[in-house]
Amino acid sequence: MAAEILINVRPQETRVAYVEGGILTDLKIERKTSPTLVGSIHRGTVSRVLPGMQAAFVDIGLDKAAFLYVGDIREDLDSDSYPYTDMDRDEPLVEEEEDKLISSTHGHKTPIQELLKEGQSILVQVAKDPLGTKGARLTTHISLPGRFVVYLPTVRHLGISRRIESDEERERLRKLVQKLNPPGGVIVRTAGEGATEEQLRTDIEYLDRLSKEVFKNYEKKKTPGMIHQEIDVELRALRDLMNEDVSTVWVDDVEVHKKVSKFVNQLMPKYKQNIVLYEEKKPLFDLYDVDIEISRSMDRKIWLKSGGYIVIDEAEALVVIDVNTGRFVGKKDLEDTILKTNLEAIREIAHQLRIRNCGGIIIVDFIDMEKESHREKVLEALTEEVSKDRARTNVMSMSSLGLVEMTRKRIRPSLIKTLCEPCEYCEGKGYVKRKSTVSNEIFRELERDIGNAAGKKTNIVIHCHSGVVDWIYETEGDTLEHIEQKLGRSIAFKIEPQYHIEQYEIFYV
């Protein structure tokens, strides 16, 4: 299916949209005030070791200490040695699953207190951006992405992208990399499918030179801080997304167009004619209603074409998706209607997960299905749909209640976290107290003060929100009169336009 990449540039923000068949399928947004740290390499200093959690806090020059888990620490780490691991070039490259090479799934028998000590300097790479109250997550397994391969200077292993399915092609690439005998580990990326020996050699040699430069910068820098930064978002997007399916890359900024053209000409010259400067008056993202799709992806409720809908609630470490039939009544029977709604919802769920960049644990509450065959069909369809996702996604089995547990790799903050902030009015709760609740809180507080107010010749003035006053006079008149009789004095209200709906103060005057 024909695809296009749209690069929209503003002084403080760059947005990259991947549009496939006229539909937005991937979105990257980066602001100059909060650029991503993922992929950046730092000289860090261990500030605290936590044996009870088998983790450590590391100062990498940010306001908030970063987090290093024991599973992300190389066993051969030594503060007194050069950070480049000495490896035997005659040792054969061993093929492993790509995820195991760059993830933290390495099983550790050595406790963290034997690997790290406070004040120790270490070379680390940011694996996940800071999120909420959490600092950045680090790893000591350095990885440097190129066009065709990801280079791992501290290990000696070989991995092939799972998306390269042909056994013949996987074997060809494996033999080519072994023939090149790189000094470090190599993962052949999906873009490496069909790559020549010369293309792989050029990629590996460049990344090996880059890794040596990183290690030199580590030796030079004596305080915690960044020593290598990932390339800009528009260049990362082209490096990761550019392929034979992309017909055009539109760029709406002259300077960025020059930068992108130079980058593509150096790294993937066969695509240099695909880079086009967009000079029309109509905003670039309006070509495919990308802004409308972004706004839709920030809504809690997403309507399906049939009339059904899904509801997406995002917490810090959990995303819950609920599927509902809504206005869809079907044509045959209830089971058929439920199955069709669930299947239609799957496509929208997979789409929303990609656009919103949701990660962590994801729970999908499908509409209950009585037939086992229907449950299997839905689970199979969901597994197939999320397999198209560039982020690693795992689907677990479906429970008898129609609940499916999924995990999706999260590297950068979600779309909601990037574009939104907690509501100042409700303080991020997502709800406020009812006016009736606030009025009853006022009455209960007045009742508690009956003893204190006894014998005082004072009146009572309550400062509160206009909505609460209106509610009391319209609905709680009997209660107000009852309280006044018990207190033996009148109660007046003063409207405070700046007050929160839940805010009030009681004054005796």
Tokens 């007050």 correspond to 499
Residue 453 has pLDDT above 90, yes or no: no
Query: pLDDT tens-digit profile of 72-125?
Result: 998 776 543 444 444 444 444 545 444 445 444 345 578 999 999 999 999 999
Q: What is the pLDDT of residue 106?
A: 46
Please name the residues in contact with 164: beta carbons below 8 A apart, sequence gap of 6 or more: 170, 173, 188, 190, 192, 193
Confidence of residue 456 (pLDDT cuts 50, 70, 90): low
Tokens 């107000």 correspond to 480
Of the candidate ranges 90-94, 341-345, 346-350, the one whose mean pLDDT is the lowest: 90-94
Q: What is the pLDDT of residue 412?
A: 77
Confidence of residue 196 (pLDDT cuts 50, 70, 90): very high
The C-alpha atoms of residue 318 and residue 407 are separated, in whole angstroms, by 9
The C-alpha atoms of residue 375 and residue 397 are separated, in whole angstroms, by 10
Query: pLDDT tens-digit profile of 214-259?
Result: 999 999 998 999 999 999 999 999 998 888 889 999 999 999 999 9
Query: In Å, what is the CA distance from 423 to each residue of 110, 369, 420, 427, 430?
Result: 45, 37, 9, 5, 8
Q: What is the pLDDT of residue 108?
A: 58
Residue 43 has pLDDT above 70, yes or no: yes
Mean pLDDT throughout 344-356?
Answer: 94
Query: pLDDT tens-digit profile of 408-439?
Result: 987 778 899 888 888 888 888 889 999 999 99
Q: Is 466 left (phi over 0), alpha (psi -120 to 50) or beta?
A: alpha
Element (H, E) at 324: strand 318-324
Residue of 104, 109, 324, 89 whose CA lies nearest to 184: 89
Q: Which two tokens stand for residue 307?
A: 């009339």
Q: Which two tokens stand for residue 328?
A: 């869809």
C-beta of residue 149 within 8 angstroms of C-beta of residue 192:
yes
Q: What is the pLDDT of residue 472?
A: 95
Q: Which two tokens stand for residue 491?
A: 């109660």
293 burial via Cβ count (<10 Å: 0-12, 13-18, 19+): middle
Q: Is 102 left (phi over 0), alpha (psi -120 to 50) or beta?
A: alpha
Query: In Å, what is the CA distance from 445 to each residue of 27, 442, 475, 490?
Result: 51, 5, 19, 15
Which string of DSSP letters, residue by residue, matches 226-241?
EEE-PPPHHHHHHHHH
Q: What is the pLDDT of residue 452?
A: 61
Length of the chain: 509
Q: What is the 3-state secondary structure (H, E, C) of 285-310?
A: HHHHCHHHHHHHCCCCEEECCCCCEE
Query: Model-level pTM greater than 0.85?
Result: no
The C-alpha atoms of residue 153 and residue 136 are separated, in whole angstroms, by 22
Domains and CATH numbers, the chain: 3-33+234-291 (3.30.420.60), 41-229 (2.40.50.140), 299-419 (3.40.630), 435-508 (3.40.1260.20)
The C-alpha atoms of residue 259 and residue 232 are separated, in whole angstroms, by 10
Query: pLDDT tens-digit profile of 282-296?
Result: 999 999 999 999 999
